[in-house]
Every structure is written in C-alpha cells, then in structure tokens.
C-alpha cells in the first residue's frame, strides 16, 4: 500500500497548500476566461452568419425550370464574396434540398427542418457534420418569388477550437513554471513567517520545572506571534506561581505534619523510659491525644483544600437567615469562651437572608471566629455584627480585641500555612489553614472576605455575601 503523502513540517505543508490552491485558482480562472472567449466568439460568428443570411436572401432566384440559383453578379458584391467561405444550403420546409454551395459539397447542415426552425427569426445552433467538423449554423425561413425557403449558413468552429487548444497547451506548459516560482516564493515567505515561531519553540523546550521564571521573547511589532508569546508567558507565570505554591504547600504541610508526629513520638518514648504511676501514664496519653487531635484537624483541612483545588466539592445552595447561622456557629465556642472568660456579643438585622451552602459558610464563620477567640486575651471582647451595607450585599463583621496584625502581614493572612506569629499560633493549636479555607468558601459562594487591623487595636474580618432578593428589597 502506498503511504499517503503528508509533510511533517508546517512550512512544507503551507507551501504545498499555497501552490495547490494557486494552481486550482489559475486553472479555474483559465477555464472562465476560455469560456467567455468561446461565448464571445460564438456570438460574433452568429452576427456574421446573420449578415450572410441577409446577403443570400437578396441573391436567390428561381430558373424557369424551377431550379434555385444565385444571381450572376454574385461575385461582384463585396459582401457576397465572403459567402464563398461559408457553408450554405437552402431547403423547402418539407426538407427537400434546393441548393448547396461547393464548400458544403455532399454534406448537410442538419437535414430536414426542425419544428419552428427559423420561423420567427434567426435560429442559431452548433452541430457536427458527417466528417466530424464542428459548425455554427444560423437558420431562417424566407419567401423568394412566392416560395417559402429555409436558409442555412454555417461557420466552421474548427479555427476557434484550434486557437483554444493552442492557448490551453501554452498555458499548461507555463503552469508548472508559474507554480514552481510560486512554490519557491511561498517557501521563503513561510520560512520567514515561521522563524519567530521556531525560535519560540526552541526557547520553550529549554524551559524546565527548574527554569519556569524564563520567558519567551516578545517582538516589538505586536503581531499575532507576539500576542501568542505574551499569552504563553502569562501561562508560564501562572504555572510558575502554581509550582511555587505547590512547593511551599508541600514544605509547610510536611513541616506541620512532622511537628505533631515528633511530639507524639517524643512523649511516647519518654513515657516508656520510666515506670510511672497511673496518673502519669494518663497525662502522657492525654498529651498524645491532643497531638493526634491537632493532627486530625490538620489532615481534614488539607483534604478540604485538596478537594477544593481539584474542583471536587459540590456546593448545595439554599436560602437561610444569617443571624441563625451566626448563633449556630457561636454556640460551638461556649466552652472556649468560658475558659478564657471572654465576652461575645451578636447584633444585627434578623430579617437578612443569603443564598449559599449553609454547611460550608458555617465552617467559614467557625474558622474566623476560632481565630478571633484564640488571638483575643483573657477577659477580652469579641463582637459579631450583621447588617446590609449596600443593595444586594449582607456583611458579617467579626471583631476581636487581640494584638492586631501588622500591615506587612495583612495581605498574606489568607495564604496557606501563613502565620503572623508562628510560635504563638502553634501554642494555641492553629494550623495556618483556617483563614485560607474561609476565603475559599466565601468566594465559592459569590462573596468576599478581607481584614482591617492595626497593632494594638484588634482585627475586624469583613465577610460580604450576596443577599436574597427579598432581603435586598
């Protein structure tokens, strides 16, 4: 089986298709031009034949014996001299042949008359004689000396067809030369156009996971290739950022997982090295369970973030009262509030409703509220306020009386594993993922979250959620 021809290089394919399309266009154009030329020539033949028919009409006469002849002064008329070069015959409408010139000889211009031929004007048509000659014939019925006659004058199409054949032959001989020149020009043009693309490909092959900060060259012209380079550079920047986040996430996750595991191991080893009392063993086991609990929370948070990044979490939106959700979230911290003797106040509009995934939004409020309680001092104050800040937007403000966050940390507080004070966060059991999860939940439900804080004045987290149409009204 012959393998199908398929060039592997884009430059070759572009040149091939350019040459092929040009060849088809040239052939199609030549066909149209030849057809127009042939039609114009045929129309010109018809005009000449009509003039010849009119000339012959004035020269025909009958002999006494009923034979049809032309006048003796036939050759003295300038117009009639051209008739000698034509094919001519005269018949009765019944088909009887009355006259034919020497050039026609024994051949016939169509035999018996056809229905309606030359009846109300001139009837042109093309036919092939018995010897294979193509002829353009014009017919007309004419009355001579009271006799109705059918005159036929024909022009040979052979000179015209020979001219078309010569033109076609010359064109076919010139076509390969034209296509070869066009192919060379197309090859040079395609190479010039694709050279920047080849440079981009070579540069892209050099970019590895360790060299993601490199970028493709962008020319000053601003054409489509430069736009492509900009798009690829933008994609490389996103990939570089994702790789950096993945490296940081892997490093932080490994560190966070290593800390509780090392603590469990050290506590267990110390407990095994000495013979302690029942109470001492209970204390050791309690310490290990605290680390296991912290490790479980960390793993749950990591699974939540992993599923969110993979798009595997399907939200279940519903309409609910914001104040009910706030109270439900606050109830989970009653024991913690009592341990630190902290005061929690809740205030807001009871009629405000939002549409979103209630379970995940509660998790977001719990994470933010947990952060506020952990970083507020003993006997500190925490407040939650729910109000309508703008049409169609419900805001939940959670304020604490903690030490506040410096401006250098405010923009990074929602990053994964980021801690403004890492040592203090680990002491209170934080994983550095709660605020990151809260941000994803709020944004996944069409809202926004930000923090306003100053050193020594506490922090306020603003959660903006889309309100239902009834609440907006």
pLDDT at 428 over 80: no
When mean pLDDT is compared across 143-147, 241-245, 381-385, 418-422, the lowest value belongs to 418-422
pLDDT at residue number 421: 57
Least confident of 32-41, 77-86, 288-297, 327-336: 77-86
Q: Which of 424 and 304 is assigned the larger pLDDT?
A: 304
Reported confidence tier of residue 216, pLDDT bands at 50, 70, 90: confident
Higher pLDDT, 275 or 378: 378
Say yes or no to pLDDT of 90 above 70. Answer: yes
* Confidence band for 383, pLDDT divided at 50, 70 and 90: very high
Q: Between residues 116 and 394, which one has the greater pLDDT?
A: 394
| pLDDT exceeds 80 at position 420 | no
Is residue 436 predicted with pLDDT exceeding 70?
yes
Residue span(s) of the chain under CATH 3.30.565.10 come to 316-472
Average pLDDT, integer, range 254-268: 72
User: Is the predicted pLDDT of residue 258 greater than 80, yes or no?
Assistant: no
Quick one: pLDDT at residue 431? 61
* pLDDT confidence band for 6 (50 / 70 / 90): low
pLDDT at 169 over 90: no
Is the pLDDT confidence value at 1 over 50?
A: no
**Mean pLDDT across 32-61:** 85
What pLDDT does residue 3 have? 47
The pLDDT value recorded for residue 243 is 79
In the predicted structure, residue 217 carries a pLDDT above the cut 50: yes
Start-end ranges of CATH 3.30.450 in the chain? 10-162
Residue 423 banded pLDDT, cuts 50, 70, 90: very low
Smallest CA-to-CA distance from 297 within 451, 428, 171, 112 is with 428
Query: Which of these ranges, 80-84, 94-98, 398-402, has the smallest mean pLDDT?
Result: 80-84
Residue 82: per-residue pLDDT: 59
Range with top average pLDDT, 131-145, 260-274, 275-289, 411-425: 131-145
What band does 274 get if pLDDT is binned at 50, 70 and 90? confident
> What percent of the chain stands above pLDDT 90?
11
Q: Which residue has the higher pLDDT, 330 or 261?
A: 330
pLDDT of residue 304 exceeding 80, the answer is no
Q: According to CATH, what is the number of the domain 316-472?
A: 3.30.565.10
**In which band, very low, low, confident or very high, does the pLDDT at 219 lie, cut at 50, 70 and 90?**
confident
Tell me: pLDDT of 385 over 90: yes
Extract the tokens encoding 433: 């993922």
Confidence at residue 253, expressed as pLDDT on a 0 to 100 scale: 66
In the chain, which residues fall in CATH 1.10.287.130?
Answer: 224-308
Instruction: Give pLDDT, residue 309.
Output: 66
Look up the CATH architecture of domain 10-162. 2-Layer Sandwich (3.30)
3-state secondary structure the chain: CCCCCCCCCHHHHHHHHHHHHHHHHHHHHHHHHHHHHHHHHHHHHHHHHHHHHHHHHCCEEECCCCCEEECHHHHHCHHHHHHHHCEEEEECCCCCEEEECCCCCCCCCCCCCCCCCCCCCCEEEEEECCCCCEEEEEEEEEEECCEEEEEEEEEECHHHHHHHHHHHHHHHHHHHHHHHHHHHHHHHHHHHHHHHHHHHHHHHHHCCHHHCCCCCCCCCCCCHHHHHHHHHHHHHHHHHHHHHHHHHHHHHHHHHHHHHHHHHHHHHHHHHHCCCCHHHHHHHHHHHHHHHHHHHHHHHHHHHHHHHHCCCCCCCEEEEEHHHHHHHHHHCCHHHHHHHCCEEEEEECCCCEEEEEHHHHHHHHHHHHHHHHHHCCCCCEEEEEEEEEECCEEEEEEECCCCCCCHHHHCCCCCCCCCCCHHHHHHCCCCCCHHHHHHHHHHHCCCEEEEEECCCCCEEEEEEEEECHHHHC
Identify the pLDDT of residue 8: 62
The CATH architecture of the domain made up of 224-308 is Orthogonal Bundle (1.10)
How buried is residue 96: exposed, middle or buried, by Cβ count under 10 Å (0-12/13-18/19+)?
exposed
Q: What is the pLDDT of residue 347?
A: 92
User: Which pTM value belongs to this model?
Assistant: 0.50
* Residue 463 pLDDT > 80: yes
Q: What is the mean pLDDT of the chain?
A: 81
Flag whether pLDDT at 396 surpasses 90. yes
> Looking at the predicted structure, is the pLDDT value of residue 103 above 70?
yes
- Tell me what pLDDT residue 394 has: 92
């Amino acid at each position: 089986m012959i393998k199908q021809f398929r060039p592997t290089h884009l430059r070759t394919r572009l040149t091939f298709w350019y040459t092929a399309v040009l060849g088809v266009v040239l052939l199609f154009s030549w066909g149209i031009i030849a057809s127009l030329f042939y039609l114009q020539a045929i129309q010109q033949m018809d005009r000449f034949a009509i003039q010849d028919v009119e000339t012959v009409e004035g020269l025909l006469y009958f002999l006494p014996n009923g034979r049809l002849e032309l006048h003796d002064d036939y050759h003295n008329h300038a117009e009639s001299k051209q008739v000698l070069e034509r094919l001519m015959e005269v018949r009765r409408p019944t088909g009887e042949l009355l006259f034919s010139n020497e050039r026609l000889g024994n051949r016939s211009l169509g035999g018996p008359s056809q229905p309606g031929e030359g009846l109300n004007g001139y009837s042109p048509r093309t036919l092939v004689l018995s010897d294979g000659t193509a002829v353009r014939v014009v017919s007309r019925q004419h009355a001579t000396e009271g006799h109705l006659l059918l005159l036929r004058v024909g022009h040979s199409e052979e000179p015209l067809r020979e001219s078309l054949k010569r033109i076609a032959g010359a064109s076919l001989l010139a076509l390969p030369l034209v296509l070869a020149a066009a192919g060379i020009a197309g090859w040079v043009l395609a190479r010039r156009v694709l050279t920047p693309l080849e440079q981009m490909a070579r540069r892209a092959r050099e970019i590895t996971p360790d060299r993601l900060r490199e970028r493709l060259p962008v020319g000053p012209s601003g054409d489509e290739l430069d736009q492509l380079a900009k798009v690829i550079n933008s994609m490389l920047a996103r990939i570089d950022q994702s790789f950096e986040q993945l490296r940081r996430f892997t490093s932080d996750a490994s560190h966070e997982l290593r800390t509780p595991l090392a603590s469990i191991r050290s506590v267990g080893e110390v407990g095994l090295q000495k013979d302690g009392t029942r109470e001492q063993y209970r204390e050791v086991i309690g310490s290990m369970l605290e680390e296991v609990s912290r490790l479980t929370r960390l793993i749950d948070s990591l699974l939540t973030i992993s599923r969110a990044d993979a798009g595997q979490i399907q939200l279940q939106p519903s309409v609910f009262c914001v104040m009910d959700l706030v109270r439900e979230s606050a109830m989970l911290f009653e024991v913690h509030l009592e341990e630190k003797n902290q005061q929690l106040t809740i205030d807001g509009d009871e009629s405000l409703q939002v549409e979103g995934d209630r379970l995940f939004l509660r998790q977001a409020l719990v994470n933010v509220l947990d952060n506020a309680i952990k970083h507020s001092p003993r006997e500190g104050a925490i407040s939650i306020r729910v109000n309508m800040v703008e049409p169609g937007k419900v805001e939940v403000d959670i304020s604490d009386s903690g030490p506040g966050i410096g401006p250098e940390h405010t923009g990074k507080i929602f990053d994964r594993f980021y801690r403004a004070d890492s040592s203090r966060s680990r002491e209170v059991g934080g994983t550095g993922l709660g605020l990151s999860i809260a941000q994803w939940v709020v944004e996944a439900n069409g809202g926004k979250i930000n923090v306003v804080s100053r050193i020594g004045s506490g922090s306020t987290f603003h959660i903006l959620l889309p309100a239902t149409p009834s609440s907006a009204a």
